[in-house]
Structure 1
Amino acid sequence: MRVLVTGSAGLIGSEAVEYFDEIGMEVVGVDNNMRADFFGPRGDTTWNRDRLLARCERYSHHDLDIRDRAAVDQLVAHVRPDLVVHAAAQPSHDLAASRPFDDFDVNAGGTLALLEACRQHVPDAVFVFVSTNKVYGDNPNRLPIVELDTRYDFAPDADVAGLTSEGITEELSMDGATHSVFGASKVAADVMVQEYGKYFGLRTGVFRGGCLTGPHHSGVELHGFLSYLVAQAVDEGPYTMIGYKGKQVRDQIHSRDVISAFWAFAQDPRPGEAYNLGGGRANAASNLECVEMIAERCGRRPQLSFDDTPRVGDHICYYTDMSKFRADYPGWVQEHDLGRIVDEMVDAALARRA
């Protein structure tokens, strides 16, 4: 079996490369290190590309821009993958506002180029798309929310569409919301991936991730919250809590659990289906709570400051109800709890610092 992974030097892409290499598949990666262009030297993923090339016996790498339709078409025609994991993206709210054409061309245009190449050359391939919970815009902020000492949370007695006691479901509307420019480009890609499944019959699946994280994340201030926070804590460097007094809540899911979910879908795909993907209520914590967890593990803290103005479209509280995916794929097991995730990331940050 042959797997094509876009964004292969990023967090999710590199985890996919390792996962499928380990189970004996040929893996072809696409990554032109545009993250370094987007975020500067700290976002550079060359180290991760080189790590994969040294570690993974069945991995080959292509320095290709997914905005190049002809190049994408030629690569898919040549590789003829059985499975595509499309993780390449411009992932930042803030950067999208200053570079809207780059954002849309990568997120929406690149996705369409890859979908059409698959339709033309490998229509039976499984196509997994890494979407985002930002497709819901700021609609999560309209859900009943309460403020507690160290976090915001959903009101325990809330009875509204799109929310259960376990978190946010796929029933939450995308409409009537402020999405951010980034969120809008991902909506376009998300819907197009669904449509290639529903309209053309391709075996596509959409996964709306929240905070996907792990020790191989090149976290920066504009993207990769937990990775960047861990790095700044270990270095005892500056960290700004942007909006909501640092009480905003996210659920963390380890990149390995993300890829195992993709593999579960790939073995029994449901064309055009969309799933929320996150760590769930048990893996949810606020920014302030994460600082304390990191300090407990390494005795270090960042130099905190606070900016009262939240990012446009940012969520006050978000954690994921995975019931739909678990019902469709009952064999999938989430192996990493929040404590284990933080331990791994602290260990990795300390090793890089040393």
Structure 2
Amino acid sequence: MRRILVTGSSGLIGSEVCTFFSELGWEVHGIDNNMRAAFFGAAGDTRWMQYHLQKVLPAFTHHEVDIRDRKAVQQKLQELRPDAVVHTAAQPSHDKAASIVFDDFDTNAVGTLNLLEGLRQVSTNVPFIHMSTNKVYGDRPNTIPLVELATRWEYADDQFAHGIAEDFSIDQSVHSLFGASKVAADILVQEYGKYFGMPTCCLRGGCLTGPNHSGVELHGFLSYLIKCNLEQREYTIYGHQGKQVRDNIHSYDVARFCYEFIQTPRCGEVYNIGGGKGNTVSILEAFQRIEALSGIPMRFSYVDTSRTGDHVCYYSDLRKMQRHYPAWSITKTLDDIFSEIYAASQQVEQASQTPIDVPIQ
């Protein structure tokens, strides 16, 4: 039985990867220490997903390991000797990073280095997939000429008709400290691939989403937006008239790409992984979509100041991924994504309102 190690296994992408490979018959080992609860409080807590995976996946083992702990990481890799590693653990918020600068860098950059070097001591032939981010490009996408439409911004330059490609510069831009720590990790993953010949890749994610997302205001765009609508909470738009555009990819399609890469790995590759132009949506358009599903008007406020390093318009050019891995494509549409998150959020909302029966003593 082949063995995979997944860091951040209780998170959105990590849990999807665990489930996907378990269903393929792999032995799955997850590393997670619920740092999201420390970063974002109770709303970001992912213990529920850990317990769910332990309950429903027969070949899943949870390991309470902090990836900042170099010795513990090295020991775990030596013990497990996995056939593949998918690294999704991270401090994921560029807003939060400014208030926890060392935790952010130690988690995102040093934690990634601990895993890479620990794996190199075990084998240089094990595929290593790193969930990077489109924030490595900083605010350079904002230098692309845009045209303003009724509900969104759109690229005015035909060169970007398919979106942002992997050769777009990451230099001379404002990244946020989160973006800077993820750049460091991204470059390390590339370098271990190119310098040591290890099969590694960076997946520079757009808006990664799905029904298992524990969305909070600082991270988890669609999940948090839908949660606000259902709970009739006020959603805050930060700048750009609410017309800022993101491409959304379902966690299942990310897991599918991880499988394709592991089957035919490459050394030191970079891929922009997102929903592509077909899965783009602005904040205003997302409001319209969830209102149509729930029948609940969206409550929101507007702050004219945008977030530091935020993209006005970003979507991924998927052509390189599809050239290298023609068996892979987007299978979950934007309609699918909204419907699944809405249904899952409804279930959570209903469960929270269900009285708990207490036996009479």
Q: TM-score range by the shorter chain?
A: over 0.9
Displacement, 1:333?
A: 2.5
Displacement, 1:184?
A: 0.3
**Contact 1:207 1:275 (C-alpha < 8 Å) held by counterparts:** yes
1:84 aligned onto 2:85 = yes
Deviations 1:85-142 (A, max 9, x none): 0000000011101111100000000000000000001221100000000000000000
Equivalence for 2:20: 19
Q: Secondary structure at the match of 1:185?
A: helix
Equivalence for 1:57: 58
Equivalence for 2:33: 32
**CA–CA distance in 2 between the matches of 1:328 and 1:26?**
27
**Contact 2:291 2:298 (C-alpha < 8 Å) held by counterparts:** no
Equivalence for 1:143: 144
Matches within 5 A, 1:227-246: 227-246=223-242
Q: Secondary structure at the match of 1:187?
A: helix
Number of equivalenced pairs: 349
TM-score (structure 2 length as normaliser): 0.96
1:178 aligned onto 2:179 = no
Gaps of 5+ in 1: none
Displacement, 1:144?
A: 1.0
Displacement, 1:219?
A: 0.3
Cα 1:74/1:139, change in 2 over 3 Å = same
Equivalence for 2:287: 291
**CA–CA distance in 2 between the matches of 1:301 and 1:142?**
34
**CA–CA distance in 1 between the matches of 2:88 and 2:293?**
31
The one-letter code matched in structure 1 to 2:310 is D
Gaps of 5+ in 2: 351-361
**CA–CA distance in 1 between the matches of 2:5 and 2:78?**
12
The one-letter code matched in structure 2 to 1:239 is Y
**Contact 1:234 1:301 (C-alpha < 8 Å) held by counterparts:** no
Q: Secondary structure at the match of 2:187?
A: helix
1:272 aligned onto 2:268 = yes
Q: Secondary structure at the match of 2:169?
A: coil
1:165 aligned onto 2:166 = no
**CA–CA distance in 2 between the matches of 1:320 and 1:217?**
21
TM-score (structure 1 length as normaliser): 0.98
Poorly superposed stretches of 4+, deviation over 3 Å: none
Equivalence for 1:341: 337
**Contact 2:201 2:269 (C-alpha < 8 Å) held by counterparts:** yes
Equivalence for 1:111: 112
**CA–CA distance in 2 between the matches of 1:206 and 1:92?**
18
Deviations 1:25-51 (A, max 9, x none): 000000000000000000000111111
Equivalence for 2:357: none
Displacement, 1:192?
A: 0.3
**CA–CA distance in 2 between the matches of 1:63 and 1:154?**
44
Deviations 1:246-304 (A, max 9, x none): 11000000000001011111111110010100000010010010011011111123310
**Contact 1:229 1:302 (C-alpha < 8 Å) held by counterparts:** no
**CA–CA distance in 1 between the matches of 2:141 and 2:201?**
23
The alignment yields a C-alpha RMSD, in angstroms, of 0.7
**Contact 1:136 1:175 (C-alpha < 8 Å) held by counterparts:** yes
**CA–CA distance in 2 between the matches of 1:186 and 1:94?**
14
Equivalence for 2:46: 45
Equivalence for 2:257: 261
Q: Secondary structure at the match of 1:348?
A: helix
Displacement, 1:334?
A: 1.4
The one-letter code matched in structure 2 to 1:124 is N
Displacement, 1:236?
A: 1.1
**Contact 1:213 1:226 (C-alpha < 8 Å) held by counterparts:** yes
